[in-house]
Chains A and B, each alone.
Chain A
């Protein structure tokens, strides 16, 4: 089945230790998104790639970076995680401006 895959599902890192979260998709969608979601709140868009074009949200901290080496994969890099970065990180994809499909998420814990 076509899907959005996120690895790992659970990630533990130490304060200040860089961490990378991965997303892949078999939907062949041209747009990929990264969201941060804190407990029971709505997902908050960090940035997205529309094809190869990177679109950063104005309030996304510099601590968060992203890479999209090809259509299928997208990475979220957190350069120096702080305690406030503990959250669920959601990857989503869409075909253009059509509906977005989410992955299962990665729960990040910062010790």
Chain B
């Protein structure tokens, strides 16, 4: 099926640094979602975006819905050790009903 290209695949950073990850596609999406998954747990919704150009924050997290509707980014400011995990983007297309297309994930490691 249609894939989302998520990058980077992994990141190793120092505590306190800012982080940026993004997802791109050749298709248009109506919804962008960002999830964080800890080992052995289910993904937890961080931010939901519904409108092109929308910029939304959730604490130290900021995400944007690209103006072309084909991309989205997630920024994490002043990273802390508990930010460690896998971050997934997910998009919903107009023609896919309620189905989501997931990116391949970004594994984030934060060194204290």
Please say whether chains A and B are actual partners in one complex: yes
Contact with A along B46-78 (1 / 0, CB 8 A): 001000000000000000000000000000000
Selecting from A11-19, A38-46, A60-68, A70-78, the interface stretch reads: A38-46
CB within 8 Å: A-B pair count: 56
Q: Does B100 contact A (CB under 8 A)?
A: yes
Q: Which residue of A lies closest to B40 (CB)?
A: A107
Q: Does A105 contact B (CB under 8 A)?
A: yes
A41 touches B42 (CB 8 A): no
CA distance A87 to B109 in the complex (A): 23
A101 touches B40 (CB 8 A): no
CA distance A45 to B98 in the complex (A): 11
CA distance A55 to B98 in the complex (A): 11
Q: Does A99 contact B (CB under 8 A)?
A: yes
Complex interface: chain A residues within 8 A of B25 (CB): none
Complex interface: chain B residues within 8 A of A31 (CB): 98
Given contacts A40-B105, A99-B31, contact A50 B40 (CB under 8 A): no
B98 touches A96 (CB 8 A): yes
Q: Does A102 contact B (CB under 8 A)?
A: yes
CA distance A98 to B33 in the complex (A): 10
A43 touches B33 (CB 8 A): no
| A residues adjacent to B (C-beta < 8 A) | 4, 6, 31, 40-43, 45, 48, 50, 55, 88, 90, 92, 94, 96-105, 107
| B residues adjacent to A (C-beta < 8 A) | 31, 33, 35, 40-45, 48, 86, 88, 90, 92, 97-100, 102-105, 107
Other contacts beyond A31-B98, A40-B86, A88-B40: 8, CB < 8 A: A4-B42, A40-B105, A40-B107, A43-B43, A90-B43, A97-B92, A100-B90, A103-B42
